[in-house]
Amino acid sequence: MLTIQNLHAGYGSVSVLQDINLEIRPSEILAIVGANGAGKSTLVRAICGLLKTGSGEVRFRDKEITHMPAHLRARAGLAVVLENRRLWGELSVKDNLRLARSVGEKRNSTSTNPYSMNDLYDLFPVLHQRESSLVELLSGGEQQMVAIARALLLQPDLLIMDEPSAGLSPLMVKNTLSVIQNLKSKGMSMLLVEQNVAAIADVADRGYVINLGRLVHEVPQGGWSGFLTNESLFKAYFGG
Ligand SMILES: Nc1ncnc2c1ncn2[C@@H]1O[C@H](COP(=O)(O)OP(=O)(O)O)[C@@H](O)[C@H]1O
Ligand SMILES: [Mg+2]
């Protein structure tokens, strides 16, 4: 679905990502975990085209997209929920979703089962109740739901989420994880980037630890509990 080879990226003369290699297979949830400042959001920005990369290659559905602008990547089927969620705060929930739907309708999705507004309201009933509310007046958890709903209305083949648990109450984290589980059961491919390893250990298939811009440790399928209980390994990358 997505392949990254020898990717380097940074900000001006400051290099952040060093020789990133990874693959996300169809219907797989890959997690990248790391402490604050490790390079997680930089990697997300590089993948979705918001940050120019140095050397290396990014391929999506067998096509090279390394230098493709962000809006064309979205149209090619790569949707992202960014760290700050980037919603249209002065528009209602419904208008945010309608705008995303109109973009989604323009792409030739490979999905045989595209998401409709009603599917999203089934997934997030509270958004149906609040469809006329301005997004800027919603709680953080509700805004997160709008961001995920909007990403899904782009009818993506790969959904990327930057710290889906950040700033949410434990209950909202649980809700978000059950939505992720639900999408997984429908075969959505996902890249989850998280500082909170425990939050995604139950849903992620495989993963990597990122530290100082490098993927330094691989967590294989079924390896999350071992990683979480390996104190020295955990401390090395997350402190504490
Ligand atoms: N816009 C920027 N300009 C310069 N350096 C940045 C910028 N954004 C992030 N960085 C630096 O890049 C490194 C990785 O940051 P980031 O990818 O945001 O980490 P994470 O998402 O894992 O917390 C940090 O050292 C951070 O200070
Ligand atoms: Mg970040």
Q: Structural domain tally of the chain?
A: 1
Using H for helix, E for strand and C for coil, what is the string for the chain? CEEEEEEEEEECCEEEEEEEEEEECCCCEEEEECCCCCCHHHHHHHHHCCCCECCCEEEECCEECCCCCHHHHHHHCEEEECCCCCCCCCCEHHHHHHHHHHHHHCCCCCCCCCCCHHHHHHHCHHHHHCCCCEHHHCCHHHHHHHHHHHHHHCCCCEEEEECCCCCCCHHHHHHHHHHHHHHHHCCCEEEEEECCHHHHCCCCCEEEEEECCEEEEEECCCCHHHHHHCHHHHHHHHCC
Q: Please indicate, yes or no, if residue 197 is contained in any of the structural domains.
A: yes
pTM strictly above 0.85: yes
CATH number assigned to the domain comprising residue 72? 3.40.50.300
Decide: 40 in ligand 1 pocket, CB within 6 A. yes
Decide: 37 in ligand 1 pocket, CB within 6 A. yes
What is the residue range of 178's domain?
2-88+158-238
Which tens digits make up the pLDDT trace of 14-61? 999 999 999 999 999 999 999 999 999 999 999 999 999 999 999 999
Q: Please indicate, yes or no, if residue 96 is contained in any of the structural domains.
A: no
Q: Please indicate, yes or no, if residue 202 is contained in any of the structural domains.
A: yes
Q: Please indicate, yes or no, if residue 149 is contained in any of the structural domains.
A: no
What atom of ligand 1 comes closest to residue 38's alpha carbon? Answer: 22
Q: Please indicate, yes or no, if residue 173 is contained in any of the structural domains.
A: yes
Mutate-to-test residue for ligand 1 from 7, 8, 13, 14, highest number of ligand atoms within 8 A of CB? 14
Which tens digits make up the pLDDT trace of 70-120? 999 998 999 999 987 778 878 999 999 999 898 888 776 666 668 889 999
Q: Please indicate, yes or no, if residue 100 is contained in any of the structural domains.
A: no
| Among protein residues, the one whose CA lies closest to atom 6 of ligand 1 | 11
Decide: 41 in ligand 1 pocket, CB within 6 A. yes
Q: Please indicate, yes or no, if residue 56 is contained in any of the structural domains.
A: yes
pLDDT of residue 236: 82
